[in-house]
Structure 1
Amino acid sequence: MIKETILLVEDEIIVAKNIQNILINQGYDVPFICDNGEDAIIKARETNPSLVLMDIMLKGKIDGIDTAEYIRFRLNIPVVFLTAYEDELTLNRASLTEPYGYLLKPVSERELHAAIQMAIQTHRFAKKLKEREEWLSILIKSIGDGIASTNSDLIINFVNPAAEKLLKLKATEVVGKKFTEILKIKEDNIYININQLIQEIISNGKSFHFYYNHYLQVDEEITFPVDGKLTPLWNEKGDFNGLLFIFRDITHLKRIEEESFQRSKMESLNLLAGGIAHDFNNMLTILLNNINFIQQSDPSKTDISPYLADMMKACNLSRELTSKLISLSKENTLHMQVCDIHKIIKENVSLIIKDCNIEVQYNFTSPESKIEIDPLQISQVIQNIVINAKEAMASGGSLYISTEYVNISEIFPEKMAENSSNNTYIKISFTDTGKGIEQYNLKKIFDPYFTTKTKGNGLGLTFSQSIIKSHGGYLIVESELGKGSTFTILLPASDNNP
């Protein structure tokens, strides 16, 4: 069995020798006796004893209290004081060093042994507790989920680094503030009465789970879908002691679900559209052939010629529509070329934005940017987006077009593994100052046949999304009613670009 080592600090040699003999007889190792504070600090640092038995009133430059303060707080070694004095001033000063006990001289063997054992065991327990707290602190700080806690008055007393990142606030900006002032929760677009929710949680003693249709709002600019749990905390008496809020941003999960749903819906619609369009196209062919036959067989009947012309026009438009539906239901064939995307953007924008009161501003990442695309199909996408912007700004406005190179994993974290070979994309943004799009309509904007226009078949953006996806890219729309819209195209960058 390893003996506990005691460093004895006592400037009265007879008293010191007597205590040393008692300790040795009790099974302790007492290799050194120091009679001043300076030597005591040196020996404590060299030997790291289990405990220091310290006389309060040492002679020399530093007394026992100053020596104990250094040993206790710098070296983390427990100290038990020996003293022949009981004056309140000395004891109050000594208490600031957080000693593990006091022994009055002359000390009995029983009291000495009990005090030392109690001090060593208490110190070891405190040390283990501190190590566990440090381990838990590291764990909480390392975890990816945001964690915030409050006291019983709902004042935030802790946030971990993940919470700081999610809230885009430093701990110093959050700690000390009321939980209900910092965080607001919305279910769909309706704010939850957070005070009422907290009272219900405390009353029933159960956690509340936020998920999918709940949104965490920090301010007007920071709102994200949240998966989280708000849990009441209780002390050992069973009294409410605060709240624990564990949460994560599930924007990318919702995006994956929405993409999956959209893909499934498109597959079903494409199958249906392809079948209907094919049969309808056959019937249109018969109708067009008969109209053409009538026009050629009896040109004297000029009174019906305008009607036949209108029928022919309607049939041709219908054929164009069915052709699109058939192409939508098939795999898109790309004719890839390395092209200057900036040149293609400018050519197509100038084609659409002419003779109208719209100012176009370009902010390109470089004068020339070459990527591998199907130029005709990408031109169609650009035209569809610019036409929408033009129609949204019927009375005039501004169209801002910018490009930049981005890392796709920063926009879609879940895409890194899918596209690890090349995470660099060119981001093309079209921002108009038009009337914007209602949130309800925004969710359906890529659906086939969905349109808010009096004219149009509702397939322009559906085709645009299909074209961009076939290029391995993404088409995103952001809009707020009354504040305009931003359509963003993300396309893989070529190897010869950043």
Structure 2
Amino acid sequence: MTIISDVKILIVEDEAVTSMDLRSSLTDLGYVVCGVATTGEMAVKYAGELHPDLILMDIMLAGRMTGIEAADIIRAKCRTPVIYLTAYSDDSFLARAKITEPFGYILKPFRELELKTNIEMALYKYKMESALRMSEETTRVLLNAIVDIMFLVDTNGKFHAVNTALAKQAGKKVSELIGSNVSELVTRGILSPKMAGWNVNPTQVIPRHFEEEFSGKWFDVTLCPVRNPKNDIVLYAVYIRNITPHKKHEEQSRQNEEYFRSLVEDTSDIIAILNNDTTLRHDSPSINRLLGYSAEHLVGKPFSILLSEEELPVLGCLFEEIMSNPGMVKPFNLKVKNADGEFFCLEGIISNLYGNPVIDGIVLNGWINPC
């Protein structure tokens, strides 16, 4: 039973009888014969014009160009899969034909079952190879779009893949780094020994992550082992990200926090940092000295526990206004009670410092007066 297919096949055969037999067999099998070429030159021309899905190529053709030469040109230009037709099976022909990466061989005289099997296997192989090429190209594009360094290195230190970020750092082309040894970049001071994986235990089965200061910069490094089908570790995938700006920010924040803490602890004013729900996050020691409350008693509690009932709406309006205006600074006057229940006037300013890398909250700064 003939199965209709939309697969287009180009026949390249200079023997008229064989060409007619092929056309008839292919048609009976449900394929579409999109053209017949009798020379290598015609085959190259038709491959570019007709865009066949597959080419049946006789190795020995009339004219100056052999089928092998034609297949090589076609492979370079459009990668159309080629199956060779040949009456020769000696090693010299096969060795020359292998270079062009054919998708199969059919010895003359052919049988329809053999023809169909070879065609279907070639089409499947081509489909899988195309999907793999697409996957590899996608991976390559993604790797090169990343500004961080990424590379694959084997257990002997030989590069198997690198992205353009590393090539740029090394001052070389990607192709120049592939196959070279990572030791060269270590010697040149581009990678540290740890980044190159020199201290990795070859039996290590889980990814290793660390931060390292190198050449005046900080780097976040991850080394992931890659296994072969036998479960042996054969490669390491290495990801290196420059985190120097982040480290500098961390250090600046730490210094700012220490400076702010020293100011809070030494001041005679009452200073409190509140969250957006009015709970107290941090208070100055002066609250204990002036009102008699310990930090353990207040931190995590609403600031409203210091106020009288009539002051609660005032605090609510004040907080609503200050939260609606980032960066706002506003004076206030509230009645607060000390630990013994006596009331005092707390005057000062309240500031919305959300977004500030050091404080990131509402700051209340005031002083105590008798009411």
Q: How high is the TM-score relative to the length of structure 1? A: 0.49
Is residue 2:164 matched to residue 1:161?
yes
From 85, 90, 94, give the equivalent of 1:82.
85
Which residue of the partner structure matches residue 63 of structure 1?
66
Aligned to 1:258: 251
- 1:127 partner amino acid: S
Counterpart of 1:210? 210
- 1:5 Cα deviation (Å)? 0.6
- Give the structure with the higher percent helix: 1
158 and 87 in structure 1: CA distance in 2 versus 1, 3 angstrom threshold:
closer
Question: How far 1:2 moved relative to its partner?
Answer: 4.9
Structure 2 counterpart of 1:177, from 177, 181, 189: 181
Identity of aligned residues (%): 32
Cα offset for 1:43? 1.2
**TM-superposition CA deviations, 1:102-157 (whole Å, max 9, x none):** 11111011001101111111111101110110000100111232112211212233
Given the superposition, is the C-alpha separation of residues 64 and 194 from structure 1 closer, same or farther in structure 2, using an over 3 Å criterion?
A: closer
Q: Is the 8 A contact 1:45 1:75 kept in 2?
A: yes
SS at match of 1:81: strand
Name 1:229's counterpart in structure 2: 222
Structure 2 vs 1, CA of residues 208 and 24 (structure 1 numbering), >3 Å: closer, same or farther? same
Aligned-residue CA RMSD in angstroms?
2.4
Which deviations, in whole Å up to 9, do the C-alpha atoms of 1:5-31 show, x marking residues without a partner? 110111111111111001100000013
State the distance in 2 between where 1:81 and 1:193 align: 46
1:91 to 2:94 alignment: yes
Structure 1, unaligned stretches of length 5 or more?
Answer: 187-191, 277-498
State the 1:169 CA deviation: 4.4
Give deviations 1:280-327, integer Å, cap 9, x for gaps: xxxxxxxxxxxxxxxxxxxxxxxxxxxxxxxxxxxxxxxxxxxxxxxx
Choose from 238, 260, 265 the match for 1:245.
Answer: 238
Which amino acid in 2 is paired with 1:131? M
Gapped regions of structure 2 (runs ≥ 5)? 270-371
1:4 to 1:70, Cα distance in 2 relative to 1, 3 A: same
- 1:181 and 1:71 mapped to 2: Cα distance? 39
CA contact (8 A) 1:156 1:179 kept: no
Structure 1 position 34 matched with structure 2 position 37: yes
**Pairing 1:119–2:122 present:** yes
CA distance 1:258–1:185, change in 2 (3 Å):
farther
Does 1:270 pair with 2:270? no
Question: Equivalents in 2 of 1:83, 1:133: separation in Å?
Answer: 34
Partner of 2:200: 198
The structure 1 segments of at least 4 consecutive aligned residues displaced by more than 6 Å after TM superposition are none
Residue from 79, 103, 106 that aligns with 2:106: 103
Show the 5 A alignment for 1:76-475.
76-165=79-168, 167=169, 169-170=171-172, 171=174, 172=176, 176-179=180-183, 182=186, 183-184=191-192, 195=198, 197-199=199-201, 202-211=202-211, 214-215=212-213, 217=214, 222-275=215-268
The change in CA–CA distance for 1:13 and 1:174 in structure 2 (over 3 A counts) is closer
For residues 275 and 260 of structure 1, the distance between their equivalents in structure 2, rounded to whole angstroms, comes to 24
Cα pair distance change 1:117/1:176, threshold 3 Å: same
The Cα shift of 1:38 comes to: 1.6
Secondary structure of 1:30 counterpart? strand
- Closer, same or farther in 2 for the Cα pair 1:180/1:275, shift >3 Å? farther
1:466-490 deviations in whole A, cap 9, x for unaligned?
A: xxxxxxxxxxxxxxxxxxxxxxxxx
Aligned residues: 260
Distance 1:135 1:194, change over 3 A: closer
